[in-house]
Homo-oligomer: A and B are copies of this chain.
Amino acid sequence: MKVLRSVMQQKEGGIAGVLVVQADASMAVPGNRPELNALPLRYTKKTCVEHRIGLRPIKLEATTEQTSLHNKNMASMMFTDCSSSTTSLLIHLNRRSSNTFLRQSVGQLRLRTTVSGRACSLSIRSADAASDKVIDGKAVAKTIRDEITVEVSRMKESIGVVPGLAVILVGDRKDSATYVRNKKKACESVGIQSFEVRLAEDSSEEEVMKSVSGFNDDPSVHGILVQLPLPSHMDEQNILNAVSIEKDVDGFHPLNIGRLAMRGREPLFVPCTPKGCIELLHRYNVDIKGKRAVVIGRSNIVGMPAALLLQREDATVTIIHSRTKNPEEITREADIIISAVGQPNMVRGSWIKPGAVLIDVGINPVEDPDAPRGYRLVGDICYEEASKVASAITPVPGGVGPMTIAMLLSNTLTSAKRIHNFQ
Contact = CB atoms under 8 A, between A and B. Distances in A.
Interface in A131-171: none
Interface stretch (A82-90, A177-185, A309-317, A392-400): A309-317
B330 A300 contact: no
B321 A318 contact: no
Given A316-B330, A330-B316, A254 B262 contact: yes
Contacts of A318: 316-318
Interface string A260-302: 1111110000000000000000000000011000000011100
Given A304-B262, A316-B318, A319-B316, A290 B255 contact: no
A118 interface: no
A259 interface: yes
A317 B265 CA distance: 22
A164 to B, nearest CB: 26
A255 B260 CA distance: 11
Nearest to A289: B323
B254 A325 contact: no
A20 interface: no
A330 to B, nearest CB: 7
B262 A300 contact: yes
A311 B376 CA distance: 34
Interface residues of A, number: 34
A249 interface: no
B254 A300 contact: no
A304 B261 contact: yes
Contacts of A264: 300
A298 B304 CA distance: 16
Contacts of A94: none
A203 B308 CA distance: 37
A172 B177 CA distance: 62
Interface string A239-262: 000000000000001111111111
Given A258-B259, A261-B308, 7 more contacts: A237-B265, A254-B261, A258-B258, A258-B260, A263-B300, A289-B323, A290-B324
Interface of A: 237, 253-265, 289-290, 298-300, 304, 308, 311, 314-321, 323-325, 330
Q: Closest 9 A-B residue pairs measured CB to CB? A: A258-B258, A254-B258, A257-B258, A318-B318, A314-B323, A316-B324, A290-B323, A262-B300, A254-B259
8 contacts: A254-B255, A254-B261, A258-B259, A260-B261, A261-B261, A290-B324, A316-B320, A316-B323
